[in-house]
Structure 1
Amino acid sequence: MIKTLIFDFGDVFVNLDKPATMREMNKHKIETLSENLLQVNQQYEKGLISSTAFVKSYQTEHPELQENQFKDSWNAILIDFPEYRYQFLKKLSEEQTYRLILLSNTNEIHIDWIKDNVPFFEDFKACFDAFYLSHEINFRKPDAEIYEFVLQQHNLEPQECLFIDDTKENTEAAKNLGIHTWNIDPAQEDVVDLFTARKELF
């Protein structure tokens, strides 16, 4: 029996355009990211470096890049947060049938954009029993440690949890720990259809 629902954020609640950041950076003559910057991205997602240091890492390799140009490019991945998905979660929260947890790989610059552009963000956040952002807990998916952290924090049995994420690598890592998963396809599926998409679990 499923007792806990663990949700990703991007492309589950917030619509993403994942290639958009590189498309925007191409406009500033950045065609590819160096291995160093790819590592920096992961460090930033884990909250191991500050936003200031993160921006400077890009400017060190691309001195012509202005901070506002970089941040606009970085945030281009974020499209919108349809309110009906918040209403779906709010209803789940009010029913109190399941423990609700958010588990997202994200970073301070993206969350600042969300706070500025999604008027119901704080109400959305309040619907959850726990709200875990990778840059705040210093873990990121698909590392096993992040799932083990959540299970331990809440004394959860893996087989009583369902994890919803759009990235196959992330759901596979959770599945390896015995957690039920839904690898959602944002092009064809919507989180509000959870109970029909994975009806065998409910």
Structure 2
Amino acid sequence: MIKTIIFDFGDVFINLDKVGALENALLNFKLDSIPEDLTHINSLYEMGLMDTSEFVEFYESSFPDVQSDKILEIWNSILKDFPHHRLEFLKALSESKKYKLILLSNTNDLHIEFVKSYVPFFNEFQSYFDVFYLSHEINLRKPNPDIYEYVLKQNNLVAAETLFVDDLTENTTAAEKLGIHTWNIDPAKEDVTTLFETKKELFS
């Protein structure tokens, strides 16, 4: 049934510290919660509708007491380790040639450049995918329906023959509305390497 597997990046392959990063931002920016204008700016940056210099300048002007290097440190603090066994899983999956493999990630230039600087096998990781979509490069982001429609159309995919793996419920719910099979993975309890055991009904 499944011919194509679409994977998210964060909390699927690379571990994230979403709670810690939020607490770090609130503490350093002296906020009780993230205001709507920051959320909007972050979304624009993820969609590549704002370049890095504009993004950093916005934070510098909004928080003049926080130095630019500290802003970058706060922004990248969400990124954690990339367990090597997940790379090995992806490598074996790629070499099996059984499925088309696509990465679909909401990310941004600062995060990707940071990951490249400390994950020595990032290029190898990327090479195992047939297509590698980063939100800031295609000007689309999850969970907006147009990003899933774009991937389906660009790759001539049949939704019913496609599985999407993502840790955020809003992202998998949006994909399901288009008829795509999903695995809403729980990074606290599950690991992507158990894909074929967890979703065995789709691969039998």
Q: Does 1:45 align with 2:35?
A: no
Q: Does 1:81 align with 2:88?
A: no
Offset of residue 28 of structure 1:
2.3
| Residue of structure 1 in register with 2:173 after alignment | 172
Q: Which amino acid aligns with 1:3?
A: K
Offset of residue 64 of structure 1:
1.1
Q: What TM-score do the two structures reach when normalised by structure 1?
A: 0.98
| Residue of structure 2 in register with 1:200 after alignment | 201
- Count residues in correspondence: 202
Q: What TM-score do the two structures reach when normalised by structure 2?
A: 0.97
Q: Distance in 1 between matches of 2:116 and 2:22?
A: 23
Q: Does 1:9 align with 2:9?
A: yes
Q: Which runs of 4+ in 1 moved over 6 A?
A: none
Deviates further, 25-34 or 85-94: 25-34
Offset of residue 21 of structure 1:
2.3
Name structure 1 gaps, 5 residues minimum.
Answer: none
Q: In percent, how many aligned pairs have the same letter? A: 54
Q: Distance in 2 between matches of 1:179 and 1:27?
A: 39
Q: Which amino acid aligns with 1:24?
A: N
Q: Which amino acid aligns with 1:156?
A: L
Q: Distance in 2 between matches of 1:145 and 1:85?
A: 29
Offset of residue 29 of structure 1:
4.0
**Contact 1:9/1:102 (CA < 8 Å) preserved in 2?**
yes
**Contact 2:29/2:66 (CA < 8 Å) preserved in 1?**
no
Equivalences for 1:76-115 in 2 at 5 Å?
Answer: 76-115=77-116
SS where residue 80 of structure 2 aligns?
A: strand
Residues 146-189 of structure 1 show CA distances to partners (whole Å, capped at 9, x for unaligned) of 00000001100000000000000000000000000000000000
Equivalences for 1:19-30 in 2 at 5 Å?
Answer: 19-30=19-30
**Contact 1:14/1:81 (CA < 8 Å) preserved in 2?**
yes
Offset of residue 37 of structure 1:
1.2
Offset of residue 60 of structure 1:
1.3
**Contact 1:20/1:73 (CA < 8 Å) preserved in 2?**
no
Name structure 2 gaps, 5 residues minimum.
Answer: none
| Residue of structure 2 in register with 1:143 after alignment | 144
